[in-house]
Structure 1
């Protein structure tokens, strides 16, 4: 398919980070359209962006005339349209495990410490910054404890979350580790997660997707 790809993204959004990794692994050229989630009250809340994504979230991937939302759905779309190299493994059992690991991050950890949740705590409940940070740390560490148990010593865990090829799961885990470090969480308690993250970041596809390497990152 020859239509251009536009990614509406924010440099520090972990959901957008996942999609950047997937695009890079596929070797797909993509133009980034920055959407600043804090500036001007949050550019994702403008009427213009609401027409693109009614949820007022990033990322949105525009492929030709199609506007695609939800990071996991976008990654699976990429895998179906550009199947090589795959983000999902060959067998049903392996695919289930990869999806379970990805969803542990994207559905169970990330939504609880997303920007809009923290802003609600701040603006509606006047929750102090320290208590907001404690909330974030609790749910990341709770999720990481389960993720570490699912990865450590499992016969399917290899260089990456599933075997020796990066997958949808790695696209989710690496950004969540970035978030954990942002909030001062030490990775010493999660050695398998950290090993996989460090292995991933040695690949150009992951390195180029880092938040600090994005065009809208602060300089």
Structure 2
């Protein structure tokens, strides 16, 4: 594997995902089509790893984002909050070909954050009294029931950043930050694709969103197509 400073910069997205194995768990940043790691997802489609469990807020659309892996039959299970924009997802779920774990959005974010922070589990009131709580321990705090949720630690994390350096320090741009810092912290091996690869020391330390401690590989990837997931036009 080609490396740069600190052994973190790799030459291509294909190189970055080459060792993702069958059956691996992935934590994937992005929200809708905003801030998704397009290059590494496409490289993983070409690499062909199968029986993957993908943890992500959503599953992209039919021809973009994680929808590429779904359409290629590579994802066995999705752990998500919102899945309403993907017809392939619907078809596979209804046919029993895709296992789905729906998680309240705040709970999913906290499960990833807890995984990155080394916290094994936590209690939350979200989902109490609904199917989300089925089979889970519940406990009352201050007279209110809470359900026990377990942290998520993934084998690999795929994230997208605006700027990054060879040490793996990352800066996200505005709303494209979304789930990316959470996914980055939750991966045992975190692969960051960055639009701009800058020199070490160029990033303002106070502006870094993900410290390089959490990142094992960095690959520079051009911005690509900036798609709009659902166009809304106001009538006049």
TM bucket (normalised to shorter chain) is: under 0.3
For normalisation by structure 2, the TM-score amounts to: 0.26
Which structure features the higher share of strand residues? 2
Bigger helix fraction: 1
Question: Could you say which structure has the larger radius of gyration?
Answer: 2
